[in-house]
């Protein structure tokens, strides 16, 4: 998808409020991938991604920007925490496992696309298999009949969903779960593939509804129609050229976290260096080159500073962008302008119980004020603070609601309602700290 940087930022604005500098940086990085693909093969080999460090408090959109960016172009995306990895020689996950995990993401992404391409044909075959089983069940009830005509009628009924709740017994593939050899190391044996390669595909009989059978048999039939070698080849190509690895909590492995030098933390940085710079990692699907994978590192850097990272590591991330703490207007925009805003989510949830929840503009303003003040006086957890405020605000309504036998009830959330129902949150979050939230009577606390 050859989106321009402005188009990319426009798409990101639908889900993330503010943080224009970070959006611009990732938009340029994504566009540069398209530009690189248009170069001659000789020059293309020389152009590598310009990796990015995002600095900013939690909950301001660092991970969401990277995740939405990957989803926008259907690129393999992996989010990892730097604290999960240990230096070579220590017990724990090795840094190469992030590349193996990215390969798994790419395989899943490509396989989903290929499955969609053959889904119509696979579902038709699955429905015919179910019809044969149902025909045998119906045979005793009907006696002699034209099997072909009857099965064709059954297929039509199965496709229409008339038998979705009927229970049948089917023979389906028995795929054992992969066994992890060394916990945390990413090494596993897939017994299903081992048995398959030895001609020992195991099957078992299961009772299930026709609706469940459709999905299981459709997946089986799709697997038969998909070329696994082509899937693996395409997945490796995408992982190498389009993959995005988001390394969170990068500040936790910086040297400024303790008084002395932490060998393990610095060792993790040194282990990540060759992955970021470009190397070849062996996966069960084949070798994966990391030269053209885009790495985005992120951290709050409250205790340590970006400069506390070792120079060699910092040199692999030439682009540094700082994300700002969210202000009142940002919270208002998050509540009203983003796709699937949290207010819309709560309205949809309570609509299940016949409650028409309506948020007035003054309530939105007040919720935003409270979220900003709680972040400034307690802990700054960014947009996640809105979830806390909304849960306390709607706790009573969510508890009392239940049962769709009740008539439709319209509930209007205004500023007065917010002030009357949010005092419990103020007591919980800041009351014990001796702090004050504007607009609340201290005697009520």
Buried b (16+ CB within 10 A) or exposed e, 308-333: bbeeebbebbebebebeebeeebbbb
Residue 255 has pLDDT above 90, yes or no: no
So what's the pLDDT on residue 282? 93
Q: What is the pTM of this model?
A: 0.80
Distance CA 431, CA 445 (A): 7
What is the sign, positive or negative, of the torsion defined by CA atoms of 12, 236, 179, 222? positive
More confidently predicted of 431 and 377 = 377
- HSE-up (13 A, CA, CB side) for residue 272: 33
pLDDT single digits (tens) 75-123: 999 999 988 887 766 666 788 999 999 999 999 999 999 999 999 999 9
Residue 337 has pLDDT above 80, yes or no: yes
Q: For the domain bounded by 328-431, which CATH number is listed?
A: 1.10.8.60
Residues carrying CATH 3.40.50.300, the chain: 5-100+241-322
Residue 252 has pLDDT above 70, yes or no: yes
Mean pLDDT across 118-134: 88
So what's the pLDDT on residue 206? 80
**Nearest to residue 62, comparing CAs of 328, 331, 372, 300?**
300
Residue with tokens 């897939």: 190
Residues carrying CATH 1.10.8.60, the chain: 328-431
Residue 430 has pLDDT above 60, yes or no: no
Provide the mean pLDDT of the chain: 83
Mean pLDDT across 366-380: 88
Confidence of residue 161 (pLDDT cuts 50, 70, 90): confident
Q: Which of 23-32, 143-152, 266-275 bottoms out in mean pLDDT, i.e. has the lowest?
A: 143-152
So what's the pLDDT on residue 435? 47
The CATH fold assigned to 5-100+241-322 is Rossmann fold (3.40.50)
pLDDT single digits (tens) 272-284: 999 999 999 999 9
Confidence of residue 18 (pLDDT cuts 50, 70, 90): confident
So what's the pLDDT on residue 340? 86
């Amino acid at each position: 998808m050859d989106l321009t940087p402005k188009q990319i930022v426009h798409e990101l604005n639908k889900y993330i409020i503010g943080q224009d500098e970070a959006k611009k940086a990732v938009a340029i990085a994504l566009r540069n991938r398209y530009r690189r693909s248009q170069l001659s093969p000789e020059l293309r080999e020389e152009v590598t991604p310009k990796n990015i460090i995002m600095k900013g408090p939690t909950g301001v959109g660092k991970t969401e920007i990277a995740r939405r960016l990957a989803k926008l172009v259907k690129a393999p995306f992996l989010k990892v925490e730097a604290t999960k990895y240990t230096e070579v020689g220590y017990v724990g996950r090795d840094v190469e496992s992030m590349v193996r995990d990215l390969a798994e993401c790419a395989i899943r992404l490509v396989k989903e696309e290929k499955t969609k391409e053959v889904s119509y044909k696979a579902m038709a075959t699955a429905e015919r298999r179910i019809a044969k089983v149902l025909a045998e069940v119906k045979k005793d009830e009907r006696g002699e009949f034209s099997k072909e005509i009857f099965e064709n009628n059954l297929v039509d009924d199965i496709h229409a969903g008339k038998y979705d709740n009927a229970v049948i017994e089917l023979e389906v593939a028995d795929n054992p779960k992969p066994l992890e050899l060394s916990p945390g190391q990413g090494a596993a044996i897939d017994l299903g593939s081992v048995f398959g390669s030895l001609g020992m595909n195991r099957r078992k009989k299961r009772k299930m509804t026709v609706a469940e059978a459709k999905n299981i048999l459709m997946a089986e039939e799709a697997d038969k129609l998909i070329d696994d070698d082509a899937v693996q080849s395409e997945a490796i190509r995408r992982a190498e050229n389009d993959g995005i690895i988001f390394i969170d909590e990068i500040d936790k492995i910086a040297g400024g976290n303790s008084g002395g030098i932490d060998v393990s933390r610095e060792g993790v940085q040194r282990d990540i260096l060759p992955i970021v710079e470009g190397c070849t990692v062996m996966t069960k699907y084949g070798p994966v080159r990391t030269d053209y994978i885009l790495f985005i590192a992120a951290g709050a850097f409250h205790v340590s500073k970006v400069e506390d990272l070792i120079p060699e590591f910092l040199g692999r991330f030439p682009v540094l962008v700082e994300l700002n703490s969210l202000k009142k207007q940002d919270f208002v925009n998050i509540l009203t302008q983003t796709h699937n805003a949290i207010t819309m989510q709560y309205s949809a949830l309570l609509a299940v119980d016949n409650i028409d929840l309506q948020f007035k503009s003054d309530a939105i303003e007040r919720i935003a004020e409270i979220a900003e003040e709680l972040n400034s006086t307690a802990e700054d957890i960014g947009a996640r603070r809105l979830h806390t405020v909304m849960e306390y605000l709607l706790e009573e309504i969510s508890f009392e609601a239940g049962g769709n036998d009740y008539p439709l009830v319209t509930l209007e959330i205004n500023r007065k309602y917010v002030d009357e129902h949010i005092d419990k949150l103020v007591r919980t979050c800041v009351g014990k700290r001796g702090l004050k939230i504007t607009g609340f009577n201290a005697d009520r606390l």
